[in-house]
Amino acid sequence: MSSPAGSPIQTGSALTDDIASPIDFARIDVDLFTEKDQAEINDTVQTRCIEMLGGPTSNGTPTPMLVLSVVLEVLRKKYTGDLQLVRAYSDEIIGANPGLEKELEAAWQSGEFESTMRLAALWSTNTQFEPKRFLSNMTVEVEALRIAYNYPYIGNAARTFLAYLNDMHTFFQRPGSVRIGAPYGKVVSIVQSSGTGKSRMLKELGTLAFTLPICLREPEGLGYPNSDAAVYHYFIALTNKHSSAKTHAGISCFLGAAYRETVKWLTEKKKHFSNATRLLVEWNHMMNDDESRAEFFQTVVDSAQDGFAKCTIPNTPLKLKEQKLKNPEEQKTKNVKKQKLAADKLVEIARSCYSVPEGIQNAAQDLDNFMKNLGIQNGLFVTYFDEAHTLKDRFWALLRLLSFQNFKMHLWVVFMDTKSSVAYFTPSSGDSSSMRLRDQRRILLPPYFDLGFDQNVIGGQKPDRKVDNIIASHLQTLQCLAKYGRPLWHSLMSATDNDEVNVMLTAMAKLLCGEDFQPTNANHVLAVFSQLFCVDLAFSNAEAIKIADRSVAQHMRLLTGLKKSHDTFYTESPSEPILAVAAFNLLYDSKCCWSESLPTALNTFSTEMCKNGIVEKGLFGELAARLLLLTARHVASPVFDDAHDILAPIHIITFLDTLFPQGWAGQRREEYEKNFANGYVNFTHWIQTDDPLPKTPDL
């Protein structure tokens, strides 16, 4: 390899966009690094992979996708030559390229990554920023989350949630509170879109009250916090069927073992720390230390498996034979009776599994008594399951078991997930089978969604804090805008040393759930238009409600309210500058602000959203005016380095020239140019205000 770095001799074609499709395994003939630097970089790749797996004590082997992800991450940070890396990569690349999987496995085993780094498919000769096809670099996001976990917590969301749990506990103690229409159990799900700080809030809750955090993420998957692998494998081994007696027994034995091991650990530590507050600190420290936590849960799983082997498991209710009747009404009545018979039998099985000696009942009572004696937060103890979607149908078996807990106990169970869904965690009574819930007359608590917003701006403003010297130009940078909205953006900026490109790629990926932007896809168009044009959904429309649920889970829309029946909920896309810029980059080309995507997206929005009554159009012409004005501002954006800059201000005359047809000013052109010589406008998206704008302008 004699050619100097930065002077490539291509021995095969390189993809210029993403590398999700089959690739050419040719190499670029370039010395990317010196021999010494390459050795250090090899060590860096190995170290980062080990960190992503959970640290040096982890015995796991990184997946080929993780190795590739880290290789690209390190290249972006270390390579300073003239070549351009591909902007993104897809999780599907491994499946599309079996040979690549073997190569990455071999590279990991040997610890040599130089050959992998020279794969032609990882490099592009196209220097333009092409935001149309990408998937975010998950290692960057995971690193951001890891760093955020170690930063001091900003905001009051954890204390607000604690107050909510205490208030609900007080409510349950009132005479007659547990009645028809009362909550199903002391169970609540946290539902909000990605990046809003669900996991971080519950980690902070652990500094205020005793918590038992359980992360059910797949052990080999990317993400943070790390997976509690032993617990994950225990649950996955249980039959994924909510009506299975063995599944009920297995879950009951696990929670029973977890509660008993908690009391045992705290009792032992109490000998050395009589102060309850100090005991809480020690417990929280143990739960945040990966090695200690893994050891704790391995003990729990071992105990649960022993208990499961010993406990008496009742028979699963038999599936009754179908008997078709000619009379539809008789058939309907018979079906209802049959379903009730099976449901009643399942309730008996669940109650039996709850009360087995190895199960939840006695262990929960012992834990509740222990916590009440400690006296912190009136004995509150919270068990929470992160990435709860991996429970699948087992989720309903767990809920059924928890419904037998005495409401006087101050033990809560919380569920949450990266891709939250209202319909999954708290369905309306009409959407949940009577076989799933023990008693249809009782309802699940509504999801909790108050996680705060703009914490890095509001939470950082203290009376005694000196105001930094900020110049106006800083306000139009992504570094400044990242402080607004959900905390993820600020965490990403901190984790990447203000790498604006990586942060923007992540925002674009999250807005579309990692998919390529398709202007004919109604979900994509709604996600993009909501961030730019302040689009509201019409919740009198059943289809709009389904779209809203999907938008919260996959397209960064925020849940803001819910009806008691859970059949209607309210969402919005509040002012979030990072996502507004991401939407702009998705909607327009990099070379030319006007693109084919815009008219196609507008047509999709009109035919599939407006005409079908899915979105609110507002007063006559209001939505059209928003679209027209902001589109003109987009097209008028100044060009820097062959790309339009939506953050830069534009001259008023330039804006008006774009908005109106040629010759709009007539003979008064010179007068307007003189009067507005120093006039500029700058706006990136529309927002909804709580109060109407004044009829008389301020200026």
Size of the chain in residues? 699
Q: Taking 50 as the threshold, does the pLDDT of residue 430 lie above it?
A: no
Asked whether residue 624 carries a pLDDT value surpassing 70, the answer given is: yes
Q: How confident is the model at residue 428 (pLDDT cuts 50, 70, 90)?
A: low
- According to the per-residue pLDDT averaged within each range, which of 230-239, 588-597, 639-648 is highest? 230-239
Dihedral, CA of residue 399, residue 403, residue 404 and residue 406, to nearest 10: 130
Q: What percent of the chain has pLDDT over 70?
A: 77
Extended beta strands in 191-325, E state: 210-215
> What is the model's pLDDT at position 242?
87
Radius of gyration of the chain (CA): 28
Tokens matching residue 315: 């028979």
Per-residue burial over 387-404, b = 16 or more CB atoms within 10 Å of its CB, e = otherwise? bbbbbeebbbbbbbbbbb
Give whichever of 214-223, 294-303, 636-645 has the largest mean pLDDT.
294-303
Contact 215, 290 (CB under 8 A): no
Whether 320 has a pLDDT exceeding 50, the answer reads no
Residue with tokens 């419904």: 403
Q: What value does the mean pLDDT take over residues 23-35?
A: 73
Per-residue pLDDT, averaged over 422-431, amounts to 60
CA dist., res. 495 & res. 114, Å (int): 25
User: Which has more pLDDT, 500 or 655?
Assistant: 655
Residue 529: exposure state from Cβ atoms within 10 A (0-12, 13-18, ≥19): buried
Q: How far is CA 510 from the centre of its chain?
A: 9
Give me the mean pLDDT over the 234-258 stretch: 94
| One-letter identity of residue 36 | K
pLDDT by residue (tens digit) across 528-543? Answer: 999 999 998 887 667 7
- The angle, 0 to 180 degrees and rounded to 10, between the axes of the packed helices 488-495 and 138-150 is 100
Q: What burial letters (b/e) apply to 131-157, b meaning 16+ CB within 10 Å?
A: bbbbbbbbbbbbbbbbebbeeebbbbb
* Predicted local confidence at residue 2, as pLDDT: 32
Phi, psi angles (nearest 5°) of residue 302? -60, -45
Distance CA 643, CA 581 (A): 13
Q: What is the pLDDT of residue 567?
A: 65
pLDDT digits (tens, 9 = 90+) for 353-372: 999 999 999 999 999 999 99
Q: Which pLDDT does position 133 carry in this prediction?
A: 36
Residue 504, pLDDT above cutoff 70: yes
Is it the case that residue 328 has pLDDT exceeding 80? no
- For 668, other C-beta atoms within 10 Å of its C-beta total 10
Of 220, 232, 211, 256, give the one whose Cα is nearest residue 387. Answer: 232
**Strand 639-640 to 536-537 pairing:** unpaired
d(CA 517, CA 131): 9
Please say if the pLDDT value at position 4 is more than 60. no
Is residue 137's pLDDT more than 80?
A: no
Spatial distance between the Cα atoms of 178 and 439, rounded to a whole number of angstroms: 12
692 burial (CB, 10 Å; 0-12 / 13-18 / 19+) is: exposed
Tell me: the pLDDT tens digits for 56-74? 555 668 888 888 888 888 8
Single pTM value for the model: 0.74
| Strand duo 123-124 + 84-85: pairing | antiparallel
- Answer with the residue of higher pLDDT: 129 or 678: 678
d(CA 653, CA 8): 46
* Residue 301 token pair: 């799983």
Q: How far is CA 15 from the centre of its chain?
A: 30
10 Å Cβ neighbour count for 17? 16
Check: CB of residue 368 under 8 Å from CB of residue 379: yes
Query: According to the model, what pLDDT value does residue 57 have?
Result: 52
SS (H, E, C) 32-69: CCCHHHHHHHHHHHHHHHHHHHCCCCCCCCCCHHHHHH
pLDDT (tens digit, 9 = 90+) per residue, 456-466?
887 654 444 44
With both helix axes pointing from N to C terminus, report the angle between 597-604 and 577-587 in degrees, rounded to the nearest 10. 110
**Whether residue 254 has pLDDT greater than 50:** yes
For 568, the token pair is 């209607």
Average confidence score pLDDT of the chain: 81
- H or E element at residue 86: none
Residues 223 and 217: beta-carbon distance below 8 Å: yes
Give the residue extent of every domain in the chain: 35-127, 156-431
Query: How, if at all, do strands 650-651 and 680-681 pair?
Result: antiparallel
- Span 575-580, average pLDDT: 94
Q: Which residue has the higher pLDDT, 51 or 3?
A: 51
Q: Which two tokens stand for residue 501?
A: 């490109």
Which element (helix H / strand E) includes 558?
A: strand 558-562
- 390, two tokens: 């991996």
Provide the pLDDT confidence category of residue 135 given band limits of 50, 70 and 90: very low
| Distance from chain centroid for Cα 668 | 53
Q: Dmax over Cα atoms in the chain, in whole Å?
A: 94
- Reference 51, options 117, 150, 139; nearest CA is 139
Identify the band that residue 105 occupies on the pLDDT scale cut at 50, 70 and 90.
confident
Q: Rounded mean pLDDT of 550-575?
A: 80
Written as six digits, the tokens of 604 are 């999709």
Residue 115 has pLDDT above 90, yes or no: no
State the pLDDT at residue 645: 85
> Do the beta carbons of residue 684 and residue 588 sit within 8 Å?
no
Spell 632-642 as b/e; 16+ CB within 10 A means b: bbbbbbeeeee
Assess whether pLDDT exceeds 50 at residue 215.
yes
Q: How far apart are CA 224 and CA 509, in angstroms?
A: 18
How far is Cα 684 from Cα 315, in angstroms, rounded to an integer? Answer: 62
479 close to 564: Cβ distance less than 8 angstroms: no
571 vs 547: CA distance, rounded Å = 10
Mode of pairing for the β-strands spanning 639-640 and 680-681: unpaired
Secondary structure of residue 679 in the 3-state scheme: coil
The pLDDT value recorded for residue 90 is: 52
Give the whole-angstrom CA distance, residue 246 versus residue 232. 17
